[in-house]
């Protein structure tokens, strides 16, 4: 079913707009074997963009493999997902996957379940454990498959920051990097929803994945692209919106992709034929009620220092938190308290460091906090 506006899941087709430049750049990286790391705030469009890129690559000799490692909690959890996705996505038939297992993974006895409707979908459970296979053998699987078939594999790993949460994470990262850096026929694309964790893995000189690939930051979709998109979605679905209201939607949520779609949908359902002030205002209050349960949950455990810090940001303070005025006006405790507060809020992904200082990461949370302060 084609939908008017989509949020909360990766988008494609008519619900995907812009990203022409980024798509081109990442395709070119993929086609030239350059490892890519895609960073952005939450819900900006990383997963959608990589899906689009993978579906657009038709160059012979390139095979893309996508996996999401959000549910992986340990090193071998990850290895199981890693291998089974590679095997499934590089084999057109089960027999081919079984052959590759026999050839490259040795004594492993996989469990296969085929979906009842007998479509080509099947699940592969390899049962890899430290008892039956070494990390080296597992991690070099894609290179061996690529070499055998004479193609290049691009492995796209979504929610890669989960690796930073494993027990012995640093050791695991060292193992991955030490093997993957020698690959000649395989390259990688890493992305994930926790920006702060991703930056820790890729931007810290002491970490194994430092400078592993090209770091691409995904910016907001520009307003003029959004306006065109919003106007056309309204029109195709029998209603109309002026460029001014479409722009107002973007401005209200700082062009934050998922919120632009969510607010557009709210405006759409509050509109009979053509968007007016009443429809827009109702949509904004619907948005706030949809979001506030989450914000209550995100802020209820915060200390009063942390809440005061957020209040300062809402008042327009973005730097110089250790100055006497700010410390006193917002009751932030001592100077040395500031980095603790900042780190804690950053870990929770509630704030974000940008070039011009510290900001509330989520534009709706900013509005929610501002409303609460009135």
Partner whose binding site includes residue 135, from ligand ATP, Mg ion, none (CB under 5 to 8 Å by kind)? none
143 vs 158, beta carbon nearer Mg ion: 158
Measured CA to CA, the distance from residue 332 to residue 327 in angstroms comes to 5
Please identify, using beta-carbon distances, which residue of 140 and 258 lies nearer to ligand ATP.
Answer: 258
Residue among 160 and 321 whose Cβ is closer to Mg ion? 160
Largest CA distance in the chain: 70
Q: Can you give the binding site for ligand ATP, defined by CB under 6 A?
A: 6-11, 15-19, 40, 42-48, 193, 257-258, 261
Q: What is the smallest separation between the CB atom of 208 and ligand ATP, expressed in angstroms?
A: 23
Stretch of 47-55, 111-119, 339-347, 350-358 lying at the interface with Mg ion (CB under 5 A): 47-55
H/E segment holding residue 148? helix 141-149
Is residue 258 part of the contact set for Mg ion (CB under 5 A)?
Answer: no
Nearer to ligand ATP, 44 or 275 (CB): 44
8 Å CB contact between 351 and 196: no
Cβ atoms of 357 and 318 closer than 8 Å: yes
In the chain, what are the helix, strand and coil shares in percent, each to the nearest 5? 50, 10, 35
Nearer to ligand ATP, 40 or 308 (CB): 40
Please, what is the minimum distance in Å from the beta carbon of residue 192 to Mg ion?
7
Q: What would the 3-class secondary structure string for 219-288 be?
A: CCCCHHHHHHHHHHHHHHCCCECCHHHHHHHHHHCCCCHHHHHHHHHHHHHCCCCECCHHHHHHHHHHHH
Residue of 47, 187, 262, 266 interacting with Mg ion (CB under 5 A) = 47
Whose tokens are 């306006």? That residue is: 227
Q: How far is the CB of 10 from ligand ATP (least distance, A)?
A: 4
- Provide the minimum distance between the beta carbon of 198 and ligand ATP in the complex, in angstroms, as a whole number: 10
Residue 17 interacting with Mg ion (CB under 5 A): no
Is the Cβ of residue 71 or residue 129 nearer to Mg ion in the bound state? 71
| Closest distance to ligand ATP from the beta carbon of 83 (Å) | 23
Look-up of token digits 């340990």? 74
Residue 145 main-chain phi, psi, to 5 deg:
-65, -45
Q: Which residue is nearest to Mg ion (CB)?
A: 47
In the complex, minimum distance from the CB of residue 45 to ligand ATP, in angstroms, rounded to a whole number: 3
Tell me whether residue 4 is exposed, middle or buried, using C-beta atoms within 10 angstroms of its C-beta: 0 to 12, 13 to 18, 19 or more: middle
The residues of the shown chain that bind Mg ion, judged by CB under 5 A, are: 46-47
């Amino acid at each position: 079913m084609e939908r008017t506006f989509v949020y909360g899941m990766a988008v494609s087709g008519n619900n995907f707009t812009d990203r022409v430049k980024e798509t081109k750049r990442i395709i070119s990286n993929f086609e030239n074997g350059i490892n890519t790391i895609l960073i952005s705030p939450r819900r900006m469009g990383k997963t959608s963009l990589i899906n689009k890129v993978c579906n657009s690559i038709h160059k012979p000799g390139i095979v893309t493999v996508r996996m999401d490692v959000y549910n992986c909690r340990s090193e071998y959890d990850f290895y199981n997902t890693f291998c089974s996705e590679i095997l499934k996505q590089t084999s057109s038939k089960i027999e081919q996957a079984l052959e590759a297992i026999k050839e490259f993974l040795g004594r492993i006895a996989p469990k296969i379940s085929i979906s009842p409707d007998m479509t080509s979908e099947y699940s592969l459970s390899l049962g890899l454990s430290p008892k039956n296979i070494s990390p080296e053998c597992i991690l070099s699987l894609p290179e061996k498959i690529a070499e055998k078939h004479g193609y290049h594999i691009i492995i796209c790993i979504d929610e890669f920051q989960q690796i930073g949460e494993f027990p012995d994470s640093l050791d695991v990262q060292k193992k991955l990097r030490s093997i993957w850096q020698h690959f000649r026929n395989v390259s990688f694309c890493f992305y994930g929803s926790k920006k702060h964790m991703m930056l820790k893995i890729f931007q810290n000189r002491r970490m194994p994945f430092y400078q592993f690939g090209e770091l691409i930051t995904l910016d907001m979709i520009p307003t003029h692209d959004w306006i065109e998109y919003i106007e056309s979605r309204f029109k195709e679905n029998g209603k109309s919106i002026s460029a001014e209201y479409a722009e107002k939607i973007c401005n209200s949520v700082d062009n934050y992709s998922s919120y632009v779609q969510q607010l557009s949908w709210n405006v759409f359902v509050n509109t009979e034929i053509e968007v007016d002030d009443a429809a827009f205002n109702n949509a904004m209050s619907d948005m706030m009620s949809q979001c506030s349960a989450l914000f209550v949950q995100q802020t209820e455990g915060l200390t009063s220092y942390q809440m005061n810090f957020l209040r300062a940001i809402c008042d327009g303070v973005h730097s110089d938190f250790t100055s006497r005025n700010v410390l006193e006006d917002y009751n932030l405790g001592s100077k040395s308290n500031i980095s603790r507060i900042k780190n804690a809020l950053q870990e929770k992904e509630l704030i974000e460091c940008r070039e011009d200082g510290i900001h509330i990461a989520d534009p709706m949370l900013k509005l929610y906090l501002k409303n609460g302060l009135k």
